[in-house]
């Protein structure tokens, strides 16, 4: 059994959304599973000293165009939501709450949350909208709300952020294959090549 | 005759070097020429508010690994030079001096300069090393040195930076195809797709 691929994502990251639509298939093609890990980029930005790309007007304009093009290129339905970005700690806490019970259900929630925000504009930072999305996803919405207000799952997310930072994660999506870090939706081809043939010559 | 592709690069940008090795072939496959444009990322960083990725320790560590992997993946010989990054205004002024006389010679110089720095560690910010490289590239080294000290070519580079910023350039390599901006060596596949079939559905 080959080790799982780590997949770090933030519910407010459009490139994470695009990658979330292919990471499972890529892993499966190579006999791997995916260890999904919801994080908050806000936490990694604080430690790395980086700032969200959308805060820089020139980069923000490009980002919107590139996200739309990258989604179309990957065949993923996407409509940049307003507002963007949004705080996503509640959606992330629901993820970790679910993962402790049933990792497959956590993955289903991750995909549902990313799709809802980036394909339909569902504002995951709005408690009412988030509860409605939980119900739509077949979860107990009251229990989900209790979980995102529960110190236990707040702590679980905090620890997930700390683990990510310790692993060198400074952006999302961030994929780690057998210790090798890949940052960005645009590293799909390199991830595939690595899974197929291992390190390229000179990088063993 | 289809319009040329704009290719903005900085002599100190490793991803520009990797892209410089494929941009000509990609353009030629689609009946296009390439309009090479040497710029200084220092100038675009100042206006965009961005900072060099290598200034952030977490990103710097990743950058070195990713550059080596991306070069290997593209089949381009690369050894990260020390020091890195370096000021490259002199190499860039030589580029614009040559371009005014003979654009093909300027391209040859761009490729020679990028290869010298990133494959052999030739420090382009060192006047002696740069003159030796000019001679090796078949240029009149004395005339090249005179050019990089000449207010005319200082101004030409300044204007090139301003033109780039006005065109939305905030990083390198930066490729513009019929008005569509592509940032990064990692956009090769999207550039190819755009050149082949134009905008993807929904982005016309």
Which stretches of A137-186 are DSSP H helices? 141-148, 151-166
B61 by DSSP, 3-state: which? Answer: helix
Task: Return the residue matching tokens 């993807």.
Answer: B200
Query: What are the residue boundaries of the structural domains of chain B, listed by start?
Result: 5-197
| Yes or no, beta carbons of A184 and B186 under 8 Å apart | yes
A68/A84 Cα distance (integer angstroms): 14
Q: Which residue, A104, A164, A105, A122, is CA-closest to A12? A: A122
For B28-60, the pLDDT digits (tens) are 999 999 999 999 999 999 888 888 888 888 899
| Yes or no, beta carbons of B189 and A62 under 8 Å apart | no
Q: Which residues of A touch B72 (CB under 8 A)?
A: 200-203
Minimal C-alpha gap between A170 and chain B (Å): 7
Interface test with A, best of B46, B55, B59 (most A CBs within 10 A): B59
**Strand order, beta sheet including A5-9:** A34-38, A5-9, A174-177, A180-183
Minimal C-alpha gap between A72 and chain B (Å): 6
Which stretches of chain A are DSSP H helices? 14-20, 23-29, 41-48, 57-74, 89-101, 103-120, 127-136, 141-148, 151-166, 188-197
| Yes or no, beta carbons of A186 and B186 under 8 Å apart | yes
Q: One digit per residue, pLDDT tens: chain B, 204 residues?
A: 799 999 999 999 999 999 999 999 999 999 999 999 999 999 999 888 888 888 888 899 999 999 999 999 999 999 999 999 999 999 999 999 999 999 999 999 999 999 999 999 999 999 999 999 999 999 999 999 999 999 999 999 999 999 999 999 999 999 999 999 999 999 999 999 999 999 998 888
Enumerate chain A positions whose Cβ falls within 8 A of a Cβ in B: 47-50, 56-59, 61-62, 65-66, 68-70, 72-73, 168, 170, 180-184, 186-187, 189-190, 193, 199-203
Predicted local distance difference test score (pLDDT) of residue B48: 87
Q: Is B49 left (phi over 0), alpha (psi -120 to 50) or beta?
A: left
For B150-174, the pLDDT digits (tens) are 999 999 999 999 999 999 999 999 9
Distances (CA, A) of B111 to A177, B129, B138: 33, 16, 13
| Yes or no, beta carbons of A202 and B72 under 8 Å apart | yes
Of B66, B73, B183, which is closest to A62 when you measure between CB atoms?
A: B183
Residue with the larger pLDDT of the pair B152 and A57: B152
| Yes or no, beta carbons of A62 and B181 under 8 Å apart | yes
For this complex, say whether ipTM is above 0.90: yes
φ, ψ of residue A88 to 5 degrees: the values are -125, 20
Average pLDDT on A50-59 reads 88
Percent of chain A at pLDDT > 90 equals 91
B90/B63 Cα distance (integer angstroms): 25
Q: Is the pLDDT of residue A54 over 90?
A: no
The DSSP code for A201 is T
Interface test with B, best of A53, A62, A181 (most B CBs within 10 A): A62
Q: Which are the catalytic amino acids of B? A: 13
Enumerate chain B positions whose Cβ falls within 8 A of a Cβ in A: 47-50, 56-59, 61-62, 65-66, 68-70, 72-73, 168, 170, 180-184, 186-187, 189-190, 193, 199-203
For A115-126, the pLDDT digits (tens) are 999 999 999 999
Closest chain B residue by Cα to residue A59? B170
Q: Which residues of A touch B69 (CB under 8 A)?
A: 180, 190, 199-200, 203
Predicted local distance difference test score (pLDDT) of residue B31: 97
Predicted local distance difference test score (pLDDT) of residue B53: 86
For all residues of chain B together, what is the average pLDDT? Answer: 96
A188/B98 Cα distance (integer angstroms): 39
Average pLDDT on A124-129 reads 98
| Yes or no, beta carbons of B186 and A187 under 8 Å apart | yes
Q: Is the pLDDT of residue A139 over 90?
A: yes
The torsion of the CA quartet B51, B56, B60, B62, rounded to 10 degrees, works out to -110
Q: Which residues of B touch A170 (CB under 8 A)?
A: 56, 58-59, 62
State whether the Cα torsion A77-A83-A84-A86 is positive or negative.
Answer: negative
Distances (CA, A) of A130 to A77, A136, A149, A151: 20, 10, 13, 19
A62/A79 Cα distance (integer angstroms): 15
The angle that helices B57-74 and A41-48 make with each other, rounded to 10 degrees, is 100
A138/A119 Cα distance (integer angstroms): 19
Q: Is B202 left (phi over 0), alpha (psi -120 to 50) or beta?
A: left
Which two structure tokens, joined as six digits, stand for B168? 């939305």
Average pLDDT on A51-70 reads 92
Residue B5, number of CB atoms within 10 A of its CB: 22
| Yes or no, beta carbons of A47 and B56 under 8 Å apart | no
Interface test with A, best of B8, B58, B70 (most A CBs within 10 A): B58
| Yes or no, beta carbons of B62 and A183 under 8 Å apart | yes
Q: Which residues of A touch B179 (CB under 8 A)?
A: none
Which two structure tokens, joined as six digits, stand for B132? 């030796």
Q: Is the pLDDT of residue A180 over 90?
A: yes
Q: Is the pLDDT of residue A52 over 90?
A: no
Class of domain A5-197: alpha beta
């Amino acid at each position: 059994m080959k080790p799982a691929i780590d997949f770090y994502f933030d519910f407010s990251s459009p490139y994470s959304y695009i990658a979330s639509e292919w990471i499972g298939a890529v892993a499966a093609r190579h006999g791997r599973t995916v260890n999904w890990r919801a994080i908050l980029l806000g936490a990694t930005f604080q430690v790395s000293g980086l700032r969200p790309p959308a805060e820089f007007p020139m980069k923000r304009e490009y980002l919107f165009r590139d996200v739309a093009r990258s989604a179309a290129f990957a065949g993923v339905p996407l409509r940049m939501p307003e507002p963007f970005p949004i705080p996503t700690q509640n959606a992330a806490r629901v993820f970790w709450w679910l993962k402790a019970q049933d990792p497959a259900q956590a993955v289903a929630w991750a995909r549902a949350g990313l799709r809802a925000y980036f394909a339909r504009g569902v504002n995951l930072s709005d408690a009412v909208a988030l509860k409605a999305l939980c119900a739509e996803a077949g979860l107990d919405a009251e229990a989900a709300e209790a979980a995102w207000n529960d110190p236990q799952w707040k702590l679980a997310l905090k620890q997930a952020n700390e683990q990510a930072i310790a692993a060198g994660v400074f952006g999302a999506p961030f994929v780690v294959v057998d210790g090798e870090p890949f940052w960005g939706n645009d590293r799909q081809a390199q991830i595939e090549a690595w899974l197929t043939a291992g390190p390229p010559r000179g990088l063993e």
